[in-house]
Amino acid sequence: MTQPDPAAPAGPSPLGRRERMVLAAVAAALALLLFWLRGGLQPQAPLEQLARRSPELPLALSSGRPTIVEFYADWCEACRSMAPAMAALESEHHGELNVVLLNVDNPRWSPEIDRYRVNGIPQLELFDGSGSSIGRSLGARSRPELASIMTALIEETPLPLLAGVGSLSPLAGGEAQNPSQAVPAQAGPRSHG
């Protein structure tokens, strides 16, 4: 009995060598195209890009530049819709203004969430060049609104008159000393309170 030749093909191949090479080249080209369309090695979403390049809060507040601190969450649609304008304006004003993002779902930022009484997102805390809190913005902002807020901070002019934007003023005589004057507990930022 004769043994089959191991060098001989097992049967007719449905694709020839040339066809397999063309198919592999097309598959590689499609994989590269998909990789490029998804943003390559960089995350596509502007919110994640902005959060990744955000300076640390203490560093930003001591830099001598005005600072915007945005309290956000990855799942927040208003935060995501505002992110492209915020990222573009942050790039335009790079070196004039700091933009810091703090994720309300990260327990690291719980003290800041309590300190700035965050009870809904997006919430912007506004600081002058000396690191003093001068205002707040509640809710999503359009690009023109963000631009006017940033311009006011950079030029040290009053904050724009927009719904949900306000200057902060210290309480007369400092913090409430009588427990009956204490501020009631607020809902957390995840509750949309």
Residue 118 lies in a domain: yes
Total structural domains in the chain?
Answer: 1
Query: Can you give the pLDDT at residue 114?
Result: 95
Contact 113, 106 (CB under 8 A): no
Residue 56 lies in a domain: yes
Residue 122 lies in a domain: yes
Active site residue 111: no
Residue 26 lies in a domain: no
Active site residue 97: no
Residue 4 lies in a domain: no
Query: Can you give the pLDDT at residue 183?
Result: 37
The active-site residue out of 51, 57, 79, 82 is: 79
Each residue of 40-52: pLDDT tens digit? Answer: 554 458 888 888 8
Each residue of 144-170: pLDDT tens digit? Answer: 999 999 999 999 999 988 877 877 654
- Give the amino acid at 63: S
The active-site residue out of 69, 76, 99, 126 is: 76
Average pLDDT, the chain: 80
CATH number of the domain encompassing residue 121: 3.40.30.10
H helical segments located in 53-160: 57-61, 77-92, 110-115, 143-155
Residue 137 lies in a domain: yes
Residues 66-82: what's their mean pLDDT? Answer: 94
Asked if pLDDT for residue 4 goes beyond 70, the answer is no
Residues 89-99: what's their mean pLDDT? Answer: 92
Residues 127-136: what's their mean pLDDT? Answer: 95
Of the candidates 149, 144, 139, the one whose C-alpha atom is nearest the C-alpha of residue 99 is 149
Residue 188 lies in a domain: no
Range of the domain at 120: 46-169
What does the block give as tokens for 173? Answer: 């005589």
Residue 77 lies in a domain: yes
What does the block give as tokens for 86? Answer: 């915020």
